[in-house]
Chains A and B, each alone.
Chain A
Amino acid sequence: MTSNSNGAVPTHGLGPFLQDARLRWVVAIAILAFLVVAPMIFGSYITVILTNALLYVVLCLGLNIVVGYAGLLDLGYAAFFAVGAYTIGVLTIQFGFNFWVAFPFAVLAAVLAGVIIGGPTLRLRSDYLAIVTLGFGEIVRFSARNLEITGRASGISGIQDPSLFGWQIRTQTDYYYVFVVLAIIAVIASFRLANSRLGRAWLYVRHDEDAAEAMGINRVQVKLAAYVIGAIFGAVGGAFFAANLGAISPESFSFEQSVLVLMAVILGGMGKIPGVILGAFIIILGPELLRDLGEFRLLVFAVGLLLIMLFRPSGIWPGRRGA
């Protein structure tokens, strides 16, 4: 194998102490049980924070497919998050759609955005791609700020709470459970993808593009698949984010947002699902635990990111060495 330091196989992300399959199930069920009872134990404040952390789990797992699995640096991931949120906002408020009718359009819009931006640029060198995605993120935000239909700088407010089979999703606890379900779906989808034919193709392309191509893998197609699937995760997160807050504005989708999601993915460990989940929780809970940080919050994370890259490029989760 090459000296690829971020090359841990995604499916083997669990730490050495979790190699035992039975133990793994016990841990998974314990976490699940904790998530179910958490709002009953903690107050509404912590429930809000946990909801936010779960949203980040969805976003980070989505970006992880792009960065961790396919090895493409995406610096404008917030754009897909924005596309999902704004599609819901525009369709429900300006056109009076029901949330669930608008939802497929949100996903479709993200797929289209992913194909439009990824299609022509995925052939390029990876650092060009990084900067194109950065530019794309800014284009989306500027457009949201300048267009009449997206409410310009003040954004869109008054987005209705959706109901599901007669269950009106309304309170903070309701949304918390919605995000628990979304996060679980995202985790399962990530595991399934990593183990799929496509997941192995990503691994190959990430390690050696030319060799992968020589083995009959369509490089651009495989990358595009990662890009579009990542976009779908982002749009789903964005759609429920819009419903949860009821109001969205361009500043929720800034470059900082893209960077925070990316930091979470890298801090935890690119390509490793438990690591990425851990990263999402660190990024959201960290500032809450250290309230006094204030403006230093991002600086602390940025220094952390730099140190991780220099000294532990595979992230903080104790992943398997080598590969």
Chain B
Amino acid sequence: MTAFDVVMQQIVNGLVLGSFYALVALGYTMIFGVIKLLNFAHGDLYMVGGFVGFLVLSAISGITGGGWTGVAISMFLSMIAVGCLGVVIERVAYHPMLRAPRLSILITALAVSLVLQNTVLSITHGQYTAFGADFGFGGVNLGNVFITYNQMILVGIAAFLMIGLEVFVSRTQYGRAMRAVAIDKDMCQLMGINVSGVIAVTFLIGSALAAAAGTLAGAYYGSVWYFMGFLIGLKAFTAAVIGGIGSIPGAMLGGLILGFLEAFGTQLPGIGSEWKDVFSFAVLILVLVFKPTGLLGKSEQERM
């Protein structure tokens, strides 16, 4: 392979990886936007999404087969289920804490994350569960670079979801309300906006996007397990910070940048795949230290 092929191959890899990161990062950034909470449980919603997708696919694969039709239906149902789970979590755990000190709500979010993780751990006994999607290995050759149809469909679905979100946020009534709540919650309340409703919708959408990513990742990588949300949760947060936390286009951009950084980072001498995760965290720390507002974020004076 020539250097050009390596670059092309890593662009493809980065795009796939970046799609996952971006979908999860969107939820982080939206939830952060409306209630200024870093939802530690977000990565675990991705994980639960993967498991729900797996369950649905196992139930329907007799009829639809394990191909993309089945996966798309599983993804859709998983998005609904996990979206509702996200709303329940917000109502039960975060809503009573909104006026509490930040340390308390952060720990609550951590507790929710641990409850989700360990519930799945107890059910699955910590085993990897084979996903059972069956795609085949078709694809196209671009020079020496082979791109599978799966990769294209996956990136396509991710792009479709992100465009849908962008339209929702910029064109609809609820989207406008969401942007308003992100700016000034108390004023929105005074203007008659149903702030609790907007927060619920934000959790619904954010969690649903994480579930979509979880199902797609399960189908793409072939298995799901209880701890799969941990690393991607951290990395999606990194992506959200790179793009500027609170900014929706920022999350998409940050996801893609992190995907590319990681894909190309593994090619650098001395990094390789075993140092890949360390590399991502180092990027996170560097971004936080030197540009905490990210690329598209607004600078804000915030006290802890």
Contacts and interface: CB of A to CB of B under 8 A. Distances in A.
Contact of A302 (B101, B104, B115): B115
Interface residues of B, number: 45
Contact of A143 (B104, B121, B278): B278
B277 A310 contact: no
A139 B119 CA distance: 27
Interface string A65-79: 001000101010000
Contacts, number: 125
A305 B103 contact: no
Contacts of B125: 295
A112 B47 CA distance: 36
B8 interface: no
A306 B103 contact: no
A171 interface: no
Interface stretch (A37-45, A130-138, A155-163, A233-241): A130-138
Contact of B122 (A6, A120, A135, A296): A296
A177 interface: no
Contacts of A124: 288, 292
Contacts of B112: 306
B234 A6 contact: no
A126 B303 CA distance: 9
Given A296-B122, A302-B114, A131 B278 contact: no
Contact of B118 (A142, A266, A299): A299
Contact of A306 (B111, B126, B302): B111
B100 A313 contact: yes
Nearest to A296: B122
B284 A3 contact: no
Contacts of B110: 75, 259, 262, 305
Given A128-B292, A295-B125, A306 B108 contact: yes
A78 B241 CA distance: 24
B181 to A, nearest CB: 19
Interface of B: 37-38, 93, 96-97, 99-104, 106-108, 110-112, 114-115, 117-119, 121-122, 125-126, 230, 234, 237-238, 241, 274-275, 277-278, 281-282, 284-285, 288-289, 292, 302-304
